[in-house]
Amino acid sequence: MDKPKIKLSPEDSGKPKIRLSSELETGGGHTVRIRRRHDSPKNWLRELVKILAVLVIAAAVFYRYVLMPEARPTGNRAALSMCGWELSAWKSYQADRPRFNFHELADDQKRRVIIYGMNQDFLIRTNFLWSAATNREIVIVCQRRYDNVPTPAPWNLFHNTPAHAVGYSDGTTGLISPEEFDSLFVYGLTSVWSLATNADASFKIFKQ
């Protein structure tokens, strides 16, 4: 095959256009000319549109699963928030004491603990010592199992993680696995429903 030849052919505008061509002679005396042209601007534009489309889709996914907040927290997001609110309230009830004791609360405070706990089906520890993170213990646990934290998303293959929300004696919250939840009953946690039904005669969950 001959080496590529550079040929100049004038356009209607008078500007020269460079074409690369190769000539291949066949056995019958015929010559086959092969021309190679540079990519047209349309091809580059098409590739640019594809890249922009991918970037737009990636941005939409990031916004949907990372930046966009839920209109109303649900599942474990709501349960974790409720655990945090309850711990803050409990501390404020007996701020001058190192220990929380449900049975020493005022009746209105007891009602709040029970009614809010019923909303999330809480088990609570009625008597415990506030502690540091190094020796904390679980004092609130949601009996309902949810699987929306962490959020199922494309980067975790939409994997659901069943867990129970809990509150600790150092004032923090977290999640435990279903297996960890099953072992909690030996630690003396009490259902808020039983606190409502087994309270002493002088305490009424609903005011008359």
The 8 Å CB, 24+ separation contacts for 99-105 are 99/127, 99/128, 99/129, 99/130, 100/125, 100/127, 100/128, 100/129, 100/130, 100/139, 101/126, 101/127, 102/126, 102/127, 102/195, 103/127
For residue 155, is it within any domain? yes
Both 129 and 48 in one domain: the answer is: no
Regarding whether 62 and 79 lie in a shared domain, the answer is no
CB atoms within 10 A of CB 107: 13
Residues 34-48: pLDDT tens digits? 555 555 667 878 787
Q: Considering only CA atoms, which of 155, 205, 168 is closest in space to residue 80?
A: 168
The verdict on 121 and 174 lying in the same domain is yes
Does residue 154 sit in helix, strand or coil? helix
Residue 207, domain member (yes or no):
no
Domain-located, residue 206:
no
Is there a domain that residue 182 lies in? yes
Is residue 16 a part of any domain in this protein?
Answer: yes
What's the pTM value of the predicted model, to 2 decimals? Answer: 0.63
| Helix, strand or coil, per DSSP, at residue 189 | coil
Banded pLDDT at 196 (limits 50, 70, 90) = confident
- pLDDT tens sequence across 88-137: 999 999 888 999 999 999 989 999 999 999 988 999 999 999 999 999 99
Give 66's Cβ-side CA count (13 Å radius).
Answer: 9
Q: Are residues 64 and 90 in the same domain?
A: no
Domain that holds residue 54: 40-68
- Residue 207 CB contacts under 8 Å (≥ 6 apart), including other chains: 111
Closest-CA residue to 148 (of 139, 134, 137, 158) = 158
Quote the Cα angle for 180-186-188, to 5°: 110
| Tally of structural domains, the chain | 3
